[in-house]
Amino acid sequence: MRGGPMRHVTIIREPVGRVISAWHYRCHNPNFDCYHVRSEFRTFRQYTLSRDGKGTALSEWVNITFDQYLRIPEYHNVQTRVFAANLAPYMLSENEMKNKKLLQESDFDRAISVLSRFAVVLVLESYSISLLMLSLNIGVDLDRDDFTHQRGDHSPIYSTAKDILSRDPYGTMILEANAWDLSLHSWASRRLCLDIRSKGLEAHPVVLKDTHICRSDLNQ
C-alpha cells in the first residue's frame, strides 16, 4: 500500500452504524469470532460445533455483552487501522501491541495518505452519489432502478437496535472510542463531494436529489 497512484476503490462507513452492524453479524462479533482476535473469544467454528453438540456446550461459554464489546480496543477505529497499517480487520498494529498505545494522529495521517491515492473513495451513507461516482470511473452506464436501495437498513431488528443503541450512553461511547474513524468518515465525505464538483456534476439529478449531503462543499 505504498508507492505511486492506486486504482483501488473503497467505501467508508460512519462509526455508529458500522459498530452496531458488526455486532449483529457473525464473524465480526467476539462471540462468533472468525478473525481470531483473541484466544479467549469463541470462534464461529467453536460456536457451530457447540450448537451441533460436538464441542463445549453453549451454556458453558461466557458470552461477551454489547457493553463489553464496545470497550474492546481491537473493535475500535477499524477503518483507520486497516488503511494506516495495512492490517486485517480487528488486528492491533505492532506499535499498539508493543507500546500499549492506541492509534495516534500520525496513524490517522498515514491512513489519509493511503486513501488519497485511491481512485475512488465512496461513502455508504451517500449511496446514490457514491454509485454515480463509481459508475463514471469504471465506465458503466446506470439506469434509474440501479439507484434503488435493495436493502435500505438491513432488517427491522437492526433498524430498531441502531435507533436504541445510537442514543446515550452508547452513542457517546461509540463515537469517543471511534473518533479517528469519525474523522476518516468526514474526510471521505468531503473528498466525495469535491470529486463531484471536479467532474462538473453539481447539476446532475442524482446529486441534486441528495444536495444536502454536499451542500457546504459544492457551494464553496
Question: For residue range 78-96, what is the model confidence (pLDDT) as tens digits?
Answer: 999 999 988 888 887 776 6
In this structure, is residue 4 part of a structural domain? no
Which cell goes with 126? 451517500
In this structure, is residue 2 part of a structural domain? no
> Which residues lie closer than 8 Å to 86 by C-beta, 6 or more apart?
1
CA angle 190, 181, 85 (to 5 degrees): 110
Q: Which long-range contacts does 104-112 make (Cβ < 8 Å, 24+ apart)?
A: 107/80, 107/81, 107/180, 108/80, 108/84, 108/180, 108/183, 108/184, 110/83, 110/84, 110/85, 111/79, 111/80, 111/81, 111/82, 111/83, 111/84, 111/180, 111/184, 112/184, 112/187
In this structure, is residue 165 part of a structural domain? yes
In this structure, is residue 39 part of a structural domain? no
Q: What letter would DSSP give residue 124?
A: G
Q: What's the pLDDT band for 3 if we cut at 50, 70, 90?
A: very low
Q: Domains in the chain: how many in total?
A: 1
In this structure, is residue 19 part of a structural domain? yes
pLDDT of residue 168: 73
Q: How far apart are CA 73 and CA 85, in angstroms?
A: 15
Q: How far apart are CA 12 and CA 187, in angstroms?
A: 10
pLDDT of residue 172: 87
Cite the beta strand spans of 78-131 per DSSP E: 120-123
State whether residue 122 is helix, strand or coil: strand
Residues 209, 128 contacting (CB under 8 angstroms): yes
Residues 131, 9 contacting (CB under 8 angstroms): no
pLDDT of residue 2: 44
Give the predicted TM-score (pTM) of the model: 0.84
Q: What domain range includes position 87?
A: 9-33+65-210
Mean pLDDT over residues 170-186, rounded? 92
Which cell goes with 133? 461516482
> Which residues lie closer than 8 Å to 71 by C-beta, 6 or more apart?
177
In this structure, is residue 60 part of a structural domain? no
pLDDT tens per residue, range 133-169: 888 888 888 777 777 765 555 556 556 666 666 677 8
Q: What are phi and psi of 188, to 5 degrees?
A: -65, -40
In this structure, is residue 139 part of a structural domain? yes
In DSSP terms, which residues pair with 33 in a beta bridge? 27, 43
Q: How far apart are CA 66 and CA 124, in angstroms?
A: 24
Mean pLDDT over residues 159-188, rounded? 83
